[in-house]
Chains A and B, each alone.
Chain A
Amino acid sequence: MSTVLLVGTGQVGIRAARQIVDTPGCERLLVASADPARATGLAASLHAGAEGLPEHGAVVPADVAAVVVTTGGTRAREWVRAAVAAGVPVATLHDGLGPELDAPARAAGVPVVSGAAVTPGLSDLLARHAADLFDRVDEVHVARAGAAGPACVGEVRSVRAAVPGEWRDGAWIADRAYGPQLVWFPEPVGVRECQLVQAGVAATVATVPDAGLVTVRWCGAPSTGWLSTRVRRNPVDAGWGATRVEVTGLRSGATDTVVYGAVDRTAVMAGAVVATTAVALAGLLPGLVVATPGVRALGEVAVALPFLTELAGRGVRAAAFEGVLPSA
Chain B
Amino acid sequence: MRNLRRGLLVAGMAILAGVVVRFRGRNPVPPTTGGWRALEGEALR
Contacts and interface: CB of A to CB of B under 8 A. Distances in A.
Interface of A: 182, 184, 186-187, 191, 233, 260-261, 305, 308-309, 312, 317-326, 328
Interface residues of B, number: 17
Given A182-B29, A233-B25, A312-B40, A321 B35 contact: yes
B36 A321 contact: yes
A305 B44 contact: yes
Interface of B: 22, 25, 29-40, 43-45
23 contacts: A182-B29, A186-B36, A233-B22, A261-B36, A305-B45, A308-B39, A308-B44, A309-B44, A312-B40, A317-B38, A318-B44, A320-B36, A320-B37, A320-B39, A320-B43, A321-B34, A321-B36, A322-B36, A322-B37, A323-B32, A325-B32, A326-B31, A326-B32
B44 A312 contact: yes
B44 A324 contact: no
Nearest to B28: A191
Contacts of A320: 36-37, 39, 43
Nearest to A259: B36
B39 A184 contact: no
A80 B19 CA distance: 49
A320 B39 CA distance: 6
Nearest to A262: B39
